[in-house]
Amino acid sequence: MTERMMFFRVSEVGKCLRYLYFLHVLGRLENVSKKPEVIEGKTIHQNFQNEWIATIDEEAKPEEEAMFLHENFAVLGKADLVSGERIIEIKTTTRIPNRPYLTHVRQLNFYLGLFGKKEGTLIYIERNGNGRKEFSIEFDADMFLVDLARFEKLYRALTELRVPEKEPTPLCDFCEYSFLCEKIENRNSC
Ligand code: SF4
């Protein structure tokens, strides 16, 4: 049997596999692209990219695309900025964290693997104000392989139509599939 090619995104790195399963099977249940914070976030991204190119590196490439091709799936990514040997990821936030979020570190690490770069910078920019903080990371090959293995697991789950185990975090409160997730848990416990 020929197996179907699937496409994943770097922005899916670090997210709950059950959430990603629902996302690929059902699509989005809400139109996030029209949310004010998403539109505002895009503007902040563009302003930062323009500022970087105008003042730091005129050769830097914004929204640079790359693809990691695996046997049965591909992972597509669009880096916010590729500046020399560095990949820069911009995150807009209501409050600057003291440490970078692990999900963001893993996504940036995956970009580094995708582009074959060693250094990454995560830049948090506050939505309401001028707060800005940056964190540097170096490519971690083990972390990249762990996240690649998670895409393999997701691929198998989608191919076999088998809902993955839940991976609860505080973000479950905002998950658009939480009602489905709960129904499946209730059914499994019967
Ligand atoms: S509610 Fe939590 S565990 Fe369930 S699918 Fe959503 S993120 Fe995953």
Q: Which residue has the higher pLDDT, 164 or 38?
A: 164
pLDDT, average across residues 33-48 = 84
Residue 169 Cα to ligand 1 midpoint, Å, equals 8
User: Residue 153 — very low, low, confident or very high, per pLDDT cuts 50/70/90?
Assistant: very high
Q: Is the distance from CB of 113 to CB of 145 less than 8 angstroms?
A: no
Spell out the residues 6+ positions from residue 147 whose beta carbon is closer than 8 angstroms to its own.
Answer: 13, 14, 106, 109, 110
Residue 17 Cα to ligand 1 midpoint, Å, equals 8
pLDDT at 189: 78
User: Residue 2 — very low, low, confident or very high, per pLDDT cuts 50/70/90?
Assistant: low
Q: Alpha-carbon distance 149 to 169, whole Å? A: 20
Residue 23 has pLDDT above 90, yes or no: yes
What residue type is 126 in one-letter code?
Answer: E
pLDDT tens digits along 59-85: 999 999 999 999 999 999 999 999 999
Residue 15 has pLDDT above 60, yes or no: yes
Q: Whose CA is nearest to atom 2 of ligand 1?
A: 172
Residue 29 Cα to ligand 1 midpoint, Å, equals 14
Report the nearest atom of ligand 1 relative to the CA of 15.
7
Protein residues whose CB sits closer than 6 Å to any atom of ligand 1: 16, 18-19, 166-168, 171-172, 175, 177-178, 181
Which tokens is 119 given? 């250094």
Q: Which residue has the higher pLDDT, 34 or 184?
A: 184
In the CATH hierarchy, which top-level class contains the domain 6-189? alpha beta
Residues paired with residue 137 on neighbouring β-strands, in sequence order: 120
Report the nearest atom of ligand 1 relative to the CA of 168.
3
Residue 14 Cα to ligand 1 midpoint, Å, equals 13
Residue 86 Cα to ligand 1 midpoint, Å, equals 33
Report the nearest atom of ligand 1 relative to the CA of 18.
5
Residue 176 has pLDDT above 60, yes or no: yes
Domain boundaries, the chain: 6-189
The pTM score is 0.92
Least confident of 124-128, 152-156, 164-168: 124-128
* Mean pLDDT estimate for the chain: 93
Count H helices and E strands in the chain, helices first: 5, 6
Please name the helix (run of DSSP H) or strand (run of DSSP E) that holds residue 87, with its range, or none.
Answer: strand 86-93
pLDDT at 63: 96
Report the nearest atom of ligand 1 relative to the CA of 167.
3
Q: Whose CA is nearest to atom 5 of ligand 1?
A: 19
pLDDT at 137: 97
pLDDT at 1: 44
